[in-house]
Structure formats: structure tokens, C-alpha cells
A and B are shown apart, each in its own frame.
Chain A
Amino acid sequence: MVSEKDHNVSRRQFLTYTLTGVGGFMAAGVVLPMARFAIDPVLQTTGEGDMHAVTEVSELTDEPQRFDFSYEQEDAWYTSETTNSAWIYLDGDDIVALSPVCTHLGCTVNWNSNENHPNEFFCPCHGGRFEKDGTNVAGTPPTEPLHRYKVEVRDGTVYLGKAEPQI
């Protein structure tokens, strides 16, 4: 325990403490609103995301086909029509919708586009390959399977939500 005697604070020390305190309080009052303002994008809650109508179930086959779909994208003060694509096929009764974004560095993959690697998704940028269900082929650059869209069917129409990682 420190005894009461050691609590002596000199006039200079007292002034230093109070001035530092008041100054720090004022600086915080100036800086904190600006800091919160700057980090706002990190703290914005992201909504679930809407489902977008893409195609009819009757259009789908066992073979992955590319479907483009457009929707209104809200980017802060800028709203625009944005187009996204999905590779969709039927796996029995299951509808599989894969994102065309390569999981290596984000180029766009194509189905069956490389003669040397039939029935695979192929990425032209660095030769990344994925099997039909999106699984990345070992020994090629991608480290995880293609992302898979959330799928919903309403009245025979396929709706897609956000693409989510498969693992």
C-alpha cells in the first residue's frame, strides 16, 4: 500500500494531469466522430439479399448452362442495373447453381471450354479447373470449390440468392 504521504502531487504535476485530461477529452471529441464516420462501411449491417428470378425449371438440363440475370444494385448513392451469371444444371431433382467466379483470383470460369479438360469448369487466367459439382481439381491454382447460389423455386421459376462457399 502506498501511504497517504506519498500522494503528494506537486502543483506542476497537478496542472500537467488536468491539462492532459482536458486536452485529451477535447481531442477525443474532435477525432471520435470522424473515426466512426470513416469506419462506417465495416459496421454497416448487410441485409440477407433479395432472390432474383433467373430462368424456368423447364429450361434446365443435366448439362451446366450459363444464365445471366440482372437486378438493381444499390451502391451507396449510386443505383444501377447489374448483371450476374450462374452455371445451372439438374442433379437428379436437385438444382445446382454455381457462381462463375474462380476461387483463385476472381476471373470467370467457363464450362467445357478447354478441349484438354472436357466436362470441367475451366478458368482461362491461370488454368484453374473445377469438376461439374464445383469441386476444385487438385494441382490447379484454386483452393476451394466454386461458390454455390442459394436456390429457390416458385411456380416453376428459379430464383437465386447470394452465392456462398461450399465449404
Chain B
Amino acid sequence: MLQRLYDWVDERLDITPIWRDVADHEVPEHVNPAHHFSAFVYCFGGLTFFIIVIQFLSGMFLTMYYVPDIVNAYESVKYLQGEVAFGMIVRGMHHWGASLVIVMVFLHTLRVFFTGAYKKPRELNWVVGVLMFFILMGLGFTGYLLPWDMKAYFATVVGLQMAESVPIIGTLIKTLLSGDPEIVGAQTLTRFFAIHVFFLPAALLGLMAVHFIMIRRQGIAGPL
């Protein structure tokens, strides 16, 4: 049934070369844990991607109940966690996943560093990777404020002070982030929400595409 459906579409649109180009490529022996168990270190990039997918999914579902408003944010989080079925699980996935992404990125970076995979001709991919690391830090910083509880509020107050300590343009950066020169409040929350769910994820998706295309262009770095 499925096979015939596939054949019907393939006959008209010739889709086989498309997915073959994406998915069908050989895994070199030195990165295959089935050959050398120590090659599991090559899995961390894929695991990072896997957890980012979970973050995208769980985040999309959380916005079904969450409102970025200083009056309702905390109550809506409390409601979705306490009253909605599996709310604790879905929020838990997003919460723990956020930390796990950083762990995986760190391990992935260590592997790339110690195998020297960042060297010519792959310098640009290292740069893109570091940019993505910054974006993930930004996602962590902006997402932390969203529950709008005491911890979230004061973590953001501290974070904004750090931004303010930048010479000359510090105050500008702080106001740009918080939406108000003095208050950490209504405008800060909506800004952080917009950055957290639209701007940074979009940038992350773009950079991930670049990251993966470069891997396919250049191939996996050779063995040690």
C-alpha cells in the first residue's frame, strides 16, 4: 500500500534522488561505533540535534497554554503544569532538555576540538557552530524569564545588569533587551518571549541548515 503510494508519487515527481542525496551516504568506519566502540563520541552532534528537535516540539506545545503577560504568565504556567494532562511531562521535557542541549553541545565541541576536526578546510563550520552556541545561550537566557516567578525575575535583573556593564553602549543594550530603561516588567516579558520563540529559533534553524550542508559538502573529518 505505502510502497504503491510512494511509487505513484515517485513516478510523477522523481523524488528518490532527493532523499537519497539527503539520507543515503556512507558512514566511515572510524566514526561507526559498531566498528570501534570509542567512536560513540561522534554521536554527540546528532544527539544535540535530536534534543533541539524535542525543544522545538515541546516549546510549540507549551505555547498552546502559555501567555507572555506579567499578570497571567505565572498562572498559566501553573495551570499547564498542574491541571493539564502530561503538563508536568511536557514542561519537564523543555526544562531538562534546555540543560541537556548545553551538555551535548559541550561534548560535541570537545570531540571536534580533540579530533582536530575544526582545521582547514572546516574552519567556517567551527565558526557557525560557535554562533549556534551563542544562540543557544540566548535561548536559555530568554526562556528563563518566561515563567515569571521570583527566580526568573531576579535572574533576568542580574543578566540585564551584566549587559549594562558593557562600556559605552551598555545602557543601550540593556534598554533594548528589557524594553524600558528602568523597569523589568511587561515589555521585558513580551520582548523575551518574542526573542525566545521567533527570532532565535529562526536563526538557529538557518544556521543548522548551513552547518549540515557544510558537513555534506566537506565530508566527515578523517581518523586520528
Contacts and interface: CB of A to CB of B under 8 A. Distances in A.
B84 A33 contact: no
A81 interface: no
Contacts of A43: 85
A167 interface: no
B89 interface: yes
Interface stretch (B4-12, B18-26, B53-61): B53-61
Contacts of A33: 86, 89-90, 93
Interface residues of A, number: 12
Interface in A90-142: none
A60 interface: no
B76 A77 contact: yes
Contacts of A36: 85-86
Contact of B79 (A31, A37, A77): A77
| Interface range, B side | 20 to 34
A34 B84 CA distance: 11
B19 to A, nearest CB: 16
Main secondary structure of the interface of B (DSSP, over half): helix
A36 B58 CA distance: 12
Nearest to B74: A77
A80 to B, nearest CB: 12
Nearest to B67: A77
B65 to A, nearest CB: 8
Given A37-B84, A37-B87, A77 B78 contact: yes
Interface of A: 30-31, 33-34, 36-38, 40, 43, 76-78
